[in-house]
Amino acid sequence: MKRVCAVLMMLALAALITAPVCATAAQPPVLSTTELVENSYKWDGKTVSFKGEVLQDLMVREDGTWMNLSDDNNTAMGVFVPKGVATPTISHTEDYRTVGDVVLITGVFHRVCVQHEGQTDIHAVSVTVLTPGSAKANPIHPDRVVWFVVLAGLLGLVMWFYYRKPGRGTEH
Amino acid sequence: MIRRVWREDFRIIGYYTGLVTIGVGLLMLVPMVTSLVFREWASALDFAISAALALLVGYVLALVSHTKSTPGLTHAMVIAAGSWLVAMVLSGVPYMLSGHMKSFLDACFDTLSGYTTTGMFLLQDLDHISQGLNMWRHLLTYVGGQGIVVLALTFLIGSTGGAFKIMVGEGKEEKLEPNVRHIAVLIWRISLIYLGVGTVVLGAIAMANGIKPYLAFFHGAYIFMSAWSTGGFAPYSQNMLYYHSSAMEIASMVFFILGSFNFALHYAVWSGNRKEILRNVEIVSFTITVLTTFSLVCLALMQRGVYPNAVALFRRGFFQLISGHTTTGQSNIYARTFVREWGPLGMLATTIAMAIGASAASTGGGFKGLRMGIIVKGIATDIRKLLSPERAVVTGHYHHLHDNVISDGVVKGAAVIVVLYVLIYVVGAVVGMAYGYPMADALFESVSAGSNTGLSCGVTQAGMPTLLKIVYMLEMWMGRLEFLSVFTLFGFIATSFRSMRRRKAAV
Residues B302 and B216 in one domain: no
Same domain as B14, residue B91: yes
Same domain, B246 and B285: no
Report pLDDT for B26. 95
Q: Are A107 and A79 in contact (CB under 8 A)?
A: yes
What is the reported pLDDT for A108? 97
- Same domain? B12 vs B141: yes
Selected residues 91-120 of chain A with any CB under 8 Å from a CB in chain B: 94, 96-97, 111-112, 114, 116-120
| B251 in the same domain as B315 | no
Is the same domain home to B122 and B182? Answer: yes
Mean residue pLDDT across chain A? 87
Strands B402-406 and B396-400: antiparallel
Q: Which residues contact B422 (CB under 8 A, 6 or more apart)?
A: B355
Q: Are residues B217 and B289 in the same domain?
A: no
Across the range B197-221, mean pLDDT stands at: 95
Let me know if residue B461 belongs to a domain: no
Q: Are B166 and B79 in contact (CB under 8 A)?
A: yes
Of the candidate CATH numbers 2.40.50.140, 3.60.70.12, 2.70.240.10, 3.40.50.300, the domain formed by A30-135 belongs to 2.40.50.140
pLDDT at A167 over 80: no
Contact A56, A40 (CB under 8 A): no
Mean pLDDT of B363-373: 88
Domain annotation covers residue B500: no
Higher pLDDT, B181 or A51: A51
Give me the residue spans of the domains in chain A.
Answer: 30-135
Q: Are residues B249 and B212 in the same domain?
A: yes
What pLDDT was estimated at residue B161?
Answer: 46
User: Are the beta carbons of B359 and B258 closer than 8 angstroms?
Assistant: no
Q: Provide mean pLDDT across the span B408-429.
A: 93
Domain count, chain B: 2
CA-to-CA distance for B385 and B379, rounded, in angstroms? 10
Write out pLDDT tens, residues B492-502.
Answer: 888 888 877 87
> Contacts of residue B68 in chain A, CB cutoff 8 Å?
171-172
Q: In terms of CA atoms, which chain A residue is nearest residue B210? A: A59
**pLDDT class for A13, splitting at 50, 70, 90?**
low
**Do B45 and A56 make contact, defined as CB atoms within 8 angstroms?**
no
Average pLDDT rounded to a whole number, residues B122-140: 96
Same domain? B362 vs B222 = no
In a domain, B466, yes or no: no
- My answer on whether B326 and B355 are in the same domain is yes
Over the stretch B333-361, which tens digit does the pLDDT of each residue have?
Answer: 999 999 999 999 999 999 999 999 988 87
Whether A118 sits inside 8 A of B215 (CB atoms) is no
Do B248 and B363 lie in a common domain? no
Q: Which of residues 39-58 of A touch B (CB under 8 A)?
A: 40-41, 55-58
Q: Which of A101-105, B81-85, B183-187, B260-264 has the lowest mean pLDDT?
A: B183-187
In-domain check, residue B476 = no
The pTM (predicted TM-score) of the whole model is: 0.90
Cβ contact, residue pair B49, A94, below 8 Å: no
pLDDT bracket for residue A23 (50, 70, 90): very low
Task: Please indicate, yes or no, if residue B446 is contained in any of the structural domains.
Answer: no
Mean pLDDT, rounded, for B53-57: 97
- pLDDT category, B262, cuts 50, 70, 90? confident
Last residue of some domain: B225, B259, B293?
B259
Strand partners, A134: A99
Q: Are residues B202 and B290 in the same domain?
A: no
CA angle in degrees (0–180, nearest 5) for B293-B112-B168: 80
∠ CA B170-B57-B28, rounded to 5°: 70
Domain extent at residue B372:
274-417
Kindly determine whether residue A170 and residue B158, on different chains, have CB atoms separated by under 8 Å: yes
**Structural domain contains residue B88:** yes
Phi, psi of B227 (to 5 degrees): -75, -50
